Chains A and B, each alone.
Chain A
Amino acid sequence: MQFAQIRDRVIAEPKSAGAGNLSTLAGVWVNSNPETTGITRMVITQSGSQLSLQVYAIGPEGLIDWGSVDIDVFNATPASQVAAGFTCLYDFGFVETRLQAMILKGLIVLAQIHKFKGGDNRVDYFVREYFALEHGRY
């Protein structure tokens, strides 16, 4: 087995179709900062063994619906079957936004990498924000 760090030298159980617990990610996640100038809300929906994400961001005149994309799920370790994060890509033509999420202490820590394309003179940039799951219990 090839590895670039000893942590990855593990014997993994065979994966079955739809294996893994995706429920840790599914739900509505709300930005902890009500003054954000970025993503306000993420809706993660499970369909079989696939998760999709719908993003809502704040613009000068209100919310902007980014639409829905499939996400790639990441577990906590190479032998784990529990979802602990995800990545996905939104390509808007003038900018490409990669989202990289990780669950920490019940929050999603979301890194956003915005790369402008073509003749756009804006600097590529990085934002990191926190999202809490709307659980409806209290």
Chain B
Amino acid sequence: MTQTTEFKLSGQLDPALSDPATRTLQADKLIGRWLNTNPETQGVAEIIIERAGESFLVGVLGVGEDGLITWPQTKATALANLEEEAGQRALALAVDFDFGFMRAETYLRVNKGVLVIVAYYIFLDDSRRSNYVNREFFYRHA
């Protein structure tokens, strides 16, 4: 009896997706403390990525009025990133932060030593603020 593999695009048939080693592709490249390349940012100042067994935990410090604001440390979904620029194979992370008044749906990836976060901010309060998307860049703290 043959087993058929369901797909909605050819990339879902990539044999690497069935390789257990793919789950830990270059995980070490993500782990650590990352600082925003823009010292004047009004957004995310710092990202801390930790390994917890098979999982990843992501902590964020946002820039506040009187100092940094600690976001809730949140478990990430690890994703194989098989088609990064320059043929790199790595891991990406998807993390959704829930603040009650706002949700931030983010993904993080490392490209050429730079951590990139793309965040989709969704306001759940009555402040009339627009949901918006933003991208920021981070370098690894030595």
Contact = CB atoms under 8 A, between A and B. Distances in A.
Nearest to A65: B8
Given A37-B10, A95-B6, A8 B18 contact: no
Contacts of A20: 130
A100 interface: yes
A74 B133 contact: yes
Chain B interface main SS type: mixed
A91 to B, nearest CB: 11
Interface size class of A (residues with CB under 8 A): 35 or more
Nearest to A72: B131
Interface residues of B, number: 57
Interface of A: 1-10, 12-15, 20, 37-39, 57-60, 64, 66, 72-81, 84-85, 87, 90, 92-95, 97-98, 100, 102, 104, 111, 113-115, 120-128
Interface of B: 6-14, 16-19, 22-23, 42-44, 62-65, 69, 71, 77-84, 92, 94, 97, 99, 101-102, 104-105, 107, 109, 118, 120-123, 125, 127-135
